[in-house]
Chains A and B, each alone.
Chain A
Amino acid sequence: MEGTLFQSTAEGWASDESLLVKRLRAGDAEAFEALVRIHGPRMLSVIRRLLPLDQDSFDALQDAFVCAFKAIDQFQGDSALATWLHRIAVNAALMRLRSMKRQAERAIEDLLPRFTDDGHRDPVGCAWAIAQDTSVIDNETRQLVRKCIDQLPESYRVVLVLRDIEERSTEETAELLALSVANVKTRLHRARQALRELLDPYLGEVG
């Protein structure tokens, strides 16, 4: 019964964001729980792009909510609550990444295209079966892309996620990761090449 009552209240708050924000500012415990239940799953998915391991992503989500709880008075309502929380989630994941001991990662060179001595690609590839201007991809391709992104070395995956998924600028990405702009560009190009190589056996046409 209590669960049902909470659920209907949470649904009400999900559809009336200003009321939820008002209750959060008033320190309403139920509103905080609603915020976690409504926005937590999507924030966790965003964090997992950067921190694929469960425990790391759970810790970062907790950090993100603690930050959001503290900063709720600063939420101006200029953007949707989900957009504000999304940004906090990405920042929390990056903070956690910075504090983690760097693990030995797969060398990016293993994933880059190979060339003959005279500069030709070896082996020569073939066209992809998927159209480059496609705006809709099937679920199987979506899963494949996620799996291949997860295989990128962390220091390259993070740059690709920030630039090509989060659509942060090169300059902003450089600042977030404490890298030079030139380094971000180099890593992004290599990450894209590596992702292309990982996808190639699945998306390349035969012949």
Chain B
Amino acid sequence: MNEDIDGTELTCQQIIDFMMAYLDGELPVREREIFERHLTICPDCVNYLSSYRTTLKLPQEALSPALLPEGALPESLVRAILAARTKP
């Protein structure tokens, strides 16, 4: 992740290593160009990038507060919480 990109070509493994930095806009211009050039010739990395982007969004979609399951707390837990309030 923190290593520099050497040379003018990247392997798929390096592309994946640098993917987060690429998406966060943290790659310098030259490295970004090398990264994007690889994408023009490698459908597997294009697929990986697409699924990685989806992976960033799915947790928020699956666990956003508005979608959390609602239901009553166990009665014993409610009692324990209320009892804890009055403890010194």
Contact = CB atoms under 8 A, between A and B. Distances in A.
Interface in A51-81: 58, 61-62, 65-66, 69
Contacts of A135: 61
Contacts of A125: 44, 47-48, 51
Interface in B12-69: 12-14, 16, 19-20, 44, 47-48, 50-65, 67-69
Contacts of B62: 137, 141-143, 145-146, 149
Q: Interface size for chain A: under 10, 10 to 19, 20 to 34, or 35 or more residues?
A: 35 or more
Interface stretch (A11-19, A98-106, A112-120): A112-120
A135 B59 CA distance: 12
Contacts of A49: 63
A189 B1 contact: yes
Contact of A132 (B1, B53, B59): B53
B11 interface: yes
Contacts of A167: 60
B65 A62 contact: no
Contacts of B16: 113, 121, 193
B41 to A, nearest CB: 12
B70 interface: yes
Nearest to B15: A119
B13 A119 contact: yes
B58 A40 contact: no
A145 B57 CA distance: 11
A45 interface: yes
A186 B1 CA distance: 7
Contact of A40 (B12, B44, B55, B81): B81
A70 B1 CA distance: 43
Nearest to B24: A185
A115 B47 CA distance: 16
Contacts of B13: 115, 119-121
Contacts of B51: 125, 127-128, 132, 196, 199-200, 203-204
A200 B64 CA distance: 22
20 contacts: A33-B82, A40-B73, A40-B81, A45-B69, A66-B84, A69-B85, A113-B16, A118-B11, A125-B47, A127-B50, A135-B61, A136-B61, A141-B58, A145-B62, A145-B63, A182-B2, A186-B1, A189-B20, A199-B51, A203-B51
Interface of A: 29, 32-33, 36-37, 40-42, 44-46, 49, 58, 61-62, 65-66, 69, 82, 86, 113, 115, 118-121, 124-128, 130-132, 134-137, 141-143, 145-146, 149, 160-161, 164-165, 167, 182, 185-186, 188-189, 192-193, 195-196, 199-200, 203-204
